[in-house]
Amino acid sequence: MLPQANDPCWCGSGRKYKRCHKRSEGRVLPGVVSPVRSVPDTIARPSYADTGHVESWDESRVKTPEVIERMRHAGRVAAEILRLAGEFVRPGVTTDEIDEYTHQLYIERGSYPSTLNYHGYPKSLCTSVNEVICHGIPDSRPLQDGDIVNLDVTAYIGGVHGDTNATFVVGDVDEVSRELIRVTEECMWHGIEAVKPGRPINEIGRAIEQHAKAHRYGVVRAFIGHGIGEQFHLDIPVLHYFDPRNTMVMRPGMTFTIEPMITLGTWQHKMWDDDWTAVTADGRRTAQFEHTVLVTDDGVEVLTGGPGAVSPIAPWHR
């Protein structure tokens, strides 16, 4: 339940809600971040899990059939966790409570939450509310009726990562925000359907940008999709806007994410002092959807889609 005007503020400041965060309603402000959660030693973990230091190595962009099969499993695990986490979203729940619940979902499935201690990130998923573009850190702020929230889940299991996210409504959400979410999901699928072997990878961005611009939305440029496999991020740059210089050719066996961030206003961003949370420069809302995909011999396979996924297939095929 949300605090009343004279209740102690949810942020832990000790001040009354009306004299603290109530004055800033409509904007998302940082709350209190709880201690880092532990993962049982029995669960295999990526190399950065204990130190926060991410080491890169020369991993092939084109995966072997054996690696691809492991990635299919990681994708299914991530998709299930995201769906269950989304079902937990409701007014009054804090994003930290979502993190606690999701953390347990990872463990129950024998997977490690890929974000946890990645370059020092302190939580098991990213929760990005309203004008937060991406990488929002779960904290003590309760979700409010009318919010929208993106949950970004990545599961490390079988030595590979599966990465997916979606934007969810919180209670009674206005039609403008619902339309933004709908079009953002469509943008992702337009990008996915542009994946074909032999094509330059910038065709993904062209498809996404065209659809977003048709609805007069902005496309965030600072954060892009990426290669993925045994490492969380690989050097396959998946821009969500068209850049004629981005001419890497898609080849069968490549795996990468497509994760457009679409805005009601400007595509430009600002960073919070935590060096993780990115928000729209004009404070207007933004939405995001993401799938991990595989380039096949004749098209694309969505490794985090299918039955049980939040966005199982393109809306126009449902």
CATH number at residue 256: 3.90.230.10
Q: What is the pLDDT of residue 304?
A: 98
| Residue 215 belongs to some domain of the structure | yes
| Residue 107 belongs to some domain of the structure | yes
Q: What is the pLDDT of residue 11?
A: 56
Q: What is the pLDDT of residue 16?
A: 75
| Residue 26 belongs to some domain of the structure | no
Q: What is the pLDDT of residue 206?
A: 98
Distances from the Cα of 184 to the Cαs of 62, 162, 178, 311, in angstroms? 28, 21, 10, 11
Q: What is the pLDDT of residue 24?
A: 46
Q: What is the pLDDT of residue 203?
A: 98
Distances from the Cα of 288 to the Cαs of 62, 185, 264, 318, in angstroms? 26, 7, 12, 20
| Residue 8 belongs to some domain of the structure | no
Check: CB of residue 60 under 8 Å from CB of residue 234: no
| Residue 38 belongs to some domain of the structure | no
Residues of the chain with pLDDT under 50: 23-24
pTM given for the model: 0.92
Q: What is the pLDDT of residue 13?
A: 65
E strand residue ranges, the chain? 112-113, 126-129, 132-134, 148-157, 160-169, 218-219, 225-227, 234-238, 255-258, 261-263, 269-271, 278-280, 286-288, 291-295, 300-302
| Residue 41 belongs to some domain of the structure | no
Distances from the Cα of 110 to the Cαs of 6, 55, 113, in angstroms? 44, 23, 10
Phi/psi at 286 (5° precision): -145, 155
| Residue 37 belongs to some domain of the structure | no
Q: What is the pLDDT of residue 20?
A: 58
Please count the structural domains in the chain: 1
Instruction: Return the closest-CA partner of residue 122 out of 31, 30, 28, 35.
Output: 35
| Residue 308 belongs to some domain of the structure | yes
How far apart (Å, rounded) are the C-alpha atoms in residues 140 and 231? Answer: 31
Q: Which domain holds residue 90?
A: 58-317
Q: Are strands 261-263 and 218-219 parallel, antiparallel or unpaired?
A: antiparallel
